A = this chain, B = another copy of it.
Amino acid sequence: MEVYVNFDLPPEAEAELRRHFSVVRGGDLSNVEAALVSRLTPDELRKMPRLRFIQAVTAGLDHLPWEHIPPHVAVAGNAGSNADAVAEFALALLLAPYKRIVQYSEKMRRGDYRRDVAIPLLAGRKAAVLGLGEIGTRVAKALAVLGAEVWGFSRAPREGPWRFTNSLEEALRGVSAAVCALPLTKHTKGLVRYEHLALMAQDAVFVNVGRAEVVDREGVLRILKERPSFIFASDVWWGRNDFDRDAEFFALPNVVATPWVAGGYGNEEVWRRMAMEAVKNLITWAMGGQPRNVARREDYIV
């Protein structure tokens, strides 16, 4: 079977792929039945009339040209392959500003030893986790171990050491900490708006490790300017890899920004694992098995 690949795979994943498929990287794509991709253009799609399966190496599938993908083509994402790395990073993005590590560390370097910055407790406080996939679940469990009153928000109920709600208002009202690990779909685009952020505690920290577009850009900017005590800590930005587009955020004192490094971009080992998981899922499909993370087309087609 011919498989189209449009990015550089780590050597182990490339070798594993070649053990099972004939790998095509360009030229005649007319016999391609499956594609292993990072991004995908309508042009590439048009060249693959026999395409039946698209395996993305990314966890999210929001960047695919859904309107151009025929309904009979199944699309699988790669959620879970980097969940451990992203969950750790999310907790770090939350705790570093929440426990005032950076502020005190900088003070100590300048010889200012005064204990004049209050450090909020997480234990006993309400915390919200938006999205209860593999990332959100790990974060929620860690917050529960630390004694926070965890609320879990997602479309479908999921059990764990949290109180479940499918109301964003209920999840965010009065919370001291929120971690967003929602996928970007037509249902979540622009979901978190100013009025939701305004429900949070005055000195709350909002963390985003999902996709920037789940949160309304202007709403975040407004609350950051209105409430100097509110902290926005995010690894994902609206300009995607064009970070300059969001530079006005990075200049604000109540923003902690990282350049989309929580998962595979920040760690070679995570990237290798993501690639291998994607290849394995593709093999499962080719062998007639049930691949993981098959997307619901209706979540993306507006």
- B-contacting residues, A73-108, CB 8 Å: 84-85, 87-89, 91-93, 95-96, 98-102, 104-105, 107-108
Contact of A121 among B88, B91, B257, B258 (CB under 8 A): B88
Binds B, one of A35-43, A58-66, A151-159, A262-270: A262-270
Taken together as a complex, chains A and B put the C-alpha atoms of A92 and B143 apart, in Å, by: 12
Shortest CB–CB separation between residue A263 and chain B, in angstroms?
10
Q: Which residues of B contact A89 (CB under 8 A)?
A: 99, 119
Shortest CB–CB separation between residue A144 and chain B, in angstroms?
8
Given contacts A95-B92, A146-B87, contact A105 B256 (CB under 8 A): yes
Chain A count of residues within 8 A CB distance of the other chain: 55
A84 pairs with B146, CB closer than 8 A: yes
**Residue of A92, A243, A267 contacting most chain B CB atoms (<10 Å):** A92
Report if A15 contacts B (CB, 8 A). Answer: no
Given contacts A102-B102, A147-B84, contact A121 B250 (CB under 8 A): no
- B-contacting residues, A103-138, CB 8 Å: 104-105, 107-109, 111, 113-115, 118-124, 138
Q: Which residues of B contact A259 (CB under 8 A)?
A: 104, 107-108, 113-115
Shortest CB–CB separation between residue A55 and chain B, in angstroms?
23
Taken together as a complex, chains A and B put the C-alpha atoms of A123 and B269 apart, in Å, by: 12
Query: Would you give the 0/1 interface string for A260-282, flagging 1 where the beta carbon is closer than 8 Å to chain B?
Result: 11100111111000000000000
**Residue of A84, A119, A250 contacting most chain B CB atoms (<10 Å):** A119
Report if A52 contacts B (CB, 8 A). Answer: no
Report if A251 contacts B (CB, 8 A). Answer: yes
Query: Would you give the 0/1 interface string for A228-260, flagging 1 where the beta carbon is closer than 8 Å to chain B?
Result: 000000000000000110010011000011111
Shortest CB–CB separation between residue A201 and chain B, in angstroms?
14
A88 pairs with B92, CB closer than 8 A: no
Closest to A241 in B: B113
Report if A142 contacts B (CB, 8 A). Answer: yes
A138 pairs with B142, CB closer than 8 A: no
Q: Which residues of B contact A146 (CB under 8 A)?
A: 84, 87-88, 91, 138, 142
B84 pairs with A266, CB closer than 8 A: no
Q: Which residues of B contact A115 (CB under 8 A)?
A: 259-261, 265-266
Given contacts A261-B119, A266-B119, contact A101 B92 (CB under 8 A): yes
Shortest CB–CB separation between residue A198 and chain B, in angstroms?
24
Closest to A148 in B: B88
Taken together as a complex, chains A and B put the C-alpha atoms of A195 and B274 apart, in Å, by: 37
Listed from nearest, the 3 A-B pairs whose CB atoms lie closest are A84-B123, A92-B95, A92-B99
Known contacts A92-B96, A114-B259; can you find 14 more A-B pairs with CB under 8 A? A85-B119, A88-B99, A89-B119, A91-B91, A102-B105, A104-B257, A104-B261, A105-B258, A111-B244, A119-B262, A121-B269, A141-B145, A142-B146, A145-B145
